[in-house]
Chains A and B, each alone.
Chain A
Amino acid sequence: MKWLGRPETTLNFVSELMNIIVCIKRVPDSEGRIAVGGDGTSVDTQGVKFVLNPYDEFAVEEALKLKEAAGAGSVTVITLGGDDSKETLRTALAMGADQAILLKGKPSVDGLGTAEKLAEAIAGREYDMILFGKQAIDDDNLQVPAMVAELLGVPSATVVVSLSVDGKSARAEREVEGGHEIVEFDLPAIVAAQKGLNEPRYASLKGIMAAKKKPLEEVDMGDAESRLEVVQVMNPPERTAGEIVGEGADAVPELVRKLREEAKVL
């Protein structure tokens, strides 16, 4: 199958009010070097820039587009973390979110404790949709969105590359092996964004200035319960440089011979 370019996200929206919550996380930038901490059970991120989780950028963008298409509503960004997460919330506010909530507490090692805190904080609020990034690029758990959906008892679609909303129902395309799965559900619902869902906007200077004045609520939640504990953090298995077989196309027969006879992979 030939790939014909990035699909357009369609927004067929006819509701008049759209209240959206976006759950986000502060993570080390993907370009940063991550080292094993001195105690051997932690990760050393010293000197690494922290950013809004890249998948969460797609979630924030989708929320803003949904609100814009609806013509009215609000986008609330929420995170569970420490004071340094305020910077990340401000990043989302600068993109255009209306308000932010910092749930003060430590996320859990596994996803469930964090999901419980988020579900508890969200349960009393009004929402049409809760958006997430499909996973955080630090712990790579890929658990929280589906868990919050279970805890709140609402429909959900994870790893979503295309979303359309029509009144109180939605249609999402999820990425699965070898194709896309189409999921149809009613709102309120949870959607976890995959790369490709949209092109996240950059915060404008005006947006950055405005973000400083937008409401940022702080709630003490306490630390999330971890059902797993970290025993050891290790470097990935060592990999040493192999050999340069040669230069240019003439080296190919020797390469193929080695792949067959030495590496036995052909």
Chain B
Amino acid sequence: MSILVFAEQRGGALRQAASETVTAGRVLADTMGVELTAVLVGPPSITGESEKLGRHGADKVLLGSDEVYGEYLPGVYADAVVAAVTTIDPKVILFPASALGKDLAPRVAARLKAGLASDVTEIRFEDGRIVAVRPAYGGKVYITVAFKGEPAVLSVRPRAYMAEEAPRDAEVQELATPNSSQALSKVHMAEGAAKERPDVAEAEIIVAGGRGLQEAEKWSLLEDLADALGPGTALGASRAVVDAGWRPHDEQVGQTGKVVAPPLYFALGISGAIQHLAGMRTAKCIVAVNKDPEAPIFKVADYGIVGDVFEVVPRMTEEIRKLRSED
């Protein structure tokens, strides 16, 4: 009996999401008293990364290193996970709810005819059943679901479990590349599209702007603040400014964007529509700057400044630069 975790890599390096998913798996494995196995597939350069999975608590690693895993090919990756499932017959299968995990988990669940709980924030083992909590309706409600059968397939929301150390020497076992692997598509990364900032769903800090910024050009103020805060900082946006075409949709926070839970969230010139609040209210610490003291955003903010974003934000950048230079 065991738990299987899909460890995500990109370009031969483990992603943060992998460490978080292994941590979620370790916590569950301890409560269930079972072994934790990670399946890691990637290009040949991935081999050195398997030891990191032991550091976060994997007892065993099924390693598939092959050129065929260089890019994410849905059918090929699904074959690999199903091969791992056949090898260890897990009760629970965990994926990160990343772009890749959200695409792969449903395929694996469909092949196994298993139930899938997406984007969960908490997993428990109660009365012999796997139970999970997941936000729905863009975070307006939280639903607790229980699995009727096995295996239970779940994808874990980024930042719901912070990666922790639980070191052990993981036994590495080779996962043979299934012969049946069939690619129905070809995949490659778009040239020049890579951004230097993390994705809004995975960031440590989010600097988000709304209509109060008045125009797209003013985003340089937010970029300066994000730069001062450091490399783990992402830019976020309200729906209004995405709809206006000021910012790309992948930065949108809220019900028709991303639901986020970073340690620190700056809401700058954002009044706080229901669908936006639902998407960011689980941030650990929320800072709001708005000129309207009655703005709904202040009802969820830990710290607020009533004032003009064009005066307050540059001052924040200055003070944080000072702080960082003293560190």
B257 to chain A, nearest CB (A): 8
> A183 touching B138 by the CB < 8 A rule?
no
| Interface-central residue, A33, A112, A143, by most chain B CB under 10 Å | A143
Q: Contacts A110-B115, A147-B110, A255-B316 known; A245 to B140 CB distance under 8 Å?
A: no
> A150 touching B144 by the CB < 8 A rule?
no
> A265 touching B106 by the CB < 8 A rule?
no
> A195 touching B249 by the CB < 8 A rule?
yes
Contacts of A67 in B (CB 8 A): none
Cα A245 to Cα B245 with chains together (Å): 32
> A137 touching B118 by the CB < 8 A rule?
no
Set B103, B113, B147, B308: member contacting A248, Cβ < 8 A: B308
Set B110, B145, B302: member contacting A151, Cβ < 8 A: B110
Contacts of A144 in B (CB 8 A): 106
Residue-wise interface mask of B (40-77) relative to A, using a CB-CB cutoff of 8 A (1 in contact, 0 not): 00000000000000000000000000000001101000
A250 to chain B, nearest CB (A): 8
Cα A161 to Cα B284 with chains together (Å): 31
> B298 touching A244 by the CB < 8 A rule?
yes
Asked whether B119 is an interface residue with its Cβ less than 8 Å from the other chain, the reply is yes
Cα A246 to Cα B274 with chains together (Å): 25
> B193 touching A179 by the CB < 8 A rule?
yes
> B99 touching A177 by the CB < 8 A rule?
yes
> A228 touching B115 by the CB < 8 A rule?
yes
Contacts of A157 in B (CB 8 A): 185
Q: Contacts A179-B189, A243-B304 known; A260 to B323 CB distance under 8 Å?
A: yes
> A147 touching B141 by the CB < 8 A rule?
no
Cα A258 to Cα B284 with chains together (Å): 14
What is the size category of the interface that chain A forms with chain B?
35 or more
Asked whether B100 is an interface residue with its Cβ less than 8 Å from the other chain, the reply is yes
- The closest CB in chain B to the CB of A156 belongs to B74
**Majority SS of interface residues in chain B?**
mixed
Asked whether A196 is an interface residue with its Cβ less than 8 Å from the other chain, the reply is yes
> B137 touching A244 by the CB < 8 A rule?
no
> B118 touching A141 by the CB < 8 A rule?
yes
Residue-wise interface mask of A (152-183) relative to B, using a CB-CB cutoff of 8 A (1 in contact, 0 not): 00111111010000000000011111111111
> B264 touching A244 by the CB < 8 A rule?
no
> B285 touching A263 by the CB < 8 A rule?
yes
Chain B contributes a number of interface residues (CB within 8 A of A) equal to 101
Q: How many A-B residue pairs have CB under 8 A?
A: 283
Q: Which of B265-307 contact A (CB under 8 A)?
A: 273-275, 278, 281-282, 284-287, 293, 298-307
Contacts of A226 in B (CB 8 A): 115, 148
Asked whether B172 is an interface residue with its Cβ less than 8 Å from the other chain, the reply is no
Set A54, A109, A155: member contacting B185, Cβ < 8 A: A155
Asked whether B81 is an interface residue with its Cβ less than 8 Å from the other chain, the reply is no
Q: Contacts A147-B110, A233-B141 known; A194 to B249 CB distance under 8 Å?
A: yes
Contacts of A245 in B (CB 8 A): 303-305
| Interface-central residue, B184, B252, B301, by most chain A CB under 10 Å | B184
| Interface-central residue, A3, A161, A184, by most chain B CB under 10 Å | A3
B247 to chain A, nearest CB (A): 6
Cα A251 to Cα B288 with chains together (Å): 12
Asked whether A232 is an interface residue with its Cβ less than 8 Å from the other chain, the reply is yes
Asked whether A6 is an interface residue with its Cβ less than 8 Å from the other chain, the reply is yes
Q: Contacts A137-B138, A138-B136, A155-B184 known; A180 to B189 CB distance under 8 Å?
A: yes
Contacts of A158 in B (CB 8 A): 102-103
Residue-wise interface mask of A (219-261) relative to B, using a CB-CB cutoff of 8 A (1 in contact, 0 not): 0000000111111111111010111111111011101101110
Between A and B, 22 residue pairs with Cβ closer than 8 Å are A30-B275, A36-B141, A112-B116, A140-B137, A146-B74, A147-B107, A150-B110, A151-B110, A155-B185, A159-B99, A175-B249, A182-B190, A184-B186, A233-B143, A236-B135, A236-B139, A236-B282, A237-B142, A242-B303, A243-B304, A251-B307, A263-B284
Q: Which 9 A-B pairs have the closest CB atoms?
A: A227-B115, A155-B184, A179-B193, A177-B199, A242-B302, A150-B110, A176-B99, A185-B185, A146-B106
A115-B110, A139-B136 known; 4 other A-B pairs, CB under 8 Å? A184-B187, A248-B305, A249-B311, A255-B316
